[in-house]
């Protein structure tokens, strides 16, 4: 029975962190994006984000934020959320679930604690064509 369950592999879908100018704060701010570098649209995409780790030797965990996107077209990216400065020192996790046709896909992307920094933003992000960091 267990051998009959097919878990599809997630390909050409990424969560990326990019630093962009924020007019409200008058400074560069980190944002998370859901990137669809594939040939098919994602339907009913749900992203659940949270952060956890140690700050000053004390265990910290943020609340979970949920974001829904009815569709993410091929070769596009959608902004998920702003990543608050205080959680950059924590491990940031983005659980992504979506449909392509009638098939459900699911993958968790993680940014290690302290990895979202300007020095690490050296990889060109697909579809967006700006330097940033891809979640693993």
Please state, for a pLDDT cut of 70, what percent of the chain lies above it: 99
Question: Residue 1 has what pLDDT?
Answer: 65
Higher-scoring residue by pLDDT: 77, 27: 77
Question: What pLDDT digit, counting tens, does each position of 78-126 carry?
Answer: 999 999 998 999 999 999 999 999 999 999 999 999 999 999 988 999 9
- Mean pLDDT for the chain overall: 94
Enter the pTM of the model.
0.92
Question: What pLDDT digit, counting tens, does each position of 31-80 carry?
Answer: 999 999 999 999 999 999 999 998 888 899 999 999 999 999 999 999 99
Tokens at residue 68, please? 């829904």
Which is the CATH superfamily of the domain at 7-134?
Immunoglobulins (2.60.40.10)
């Amino acid at each position: 029975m267990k051998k009959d369950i097919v878990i599809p592999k997630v390909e050409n879908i990424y969560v990326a962190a990019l630093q962009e100018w924020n007019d409200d704060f008058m400074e560069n701010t980190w944002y998370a994006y859901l990137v669809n570098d594939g040939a098919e649209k994602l339907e009913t995409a749900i992203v659940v984000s949270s952060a956890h780790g140690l700050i000053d030797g004390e265990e910290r965990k943020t609340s979970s934020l949920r974001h829904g996107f009815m569709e993410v077209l091929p070769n596009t990216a959608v902004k998920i959320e702003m990543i608050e400065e205080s959680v950059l020192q924590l491990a940031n996790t983005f659980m992504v679930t979506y449909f392509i046709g009638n098939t459900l896909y699911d993958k968790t992307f993680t940014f290690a604690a302290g990895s979202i920094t300007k020095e690490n933003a050296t990889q060109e992000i697909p579809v967006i064509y700006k330097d940033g960091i891809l979640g693993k």
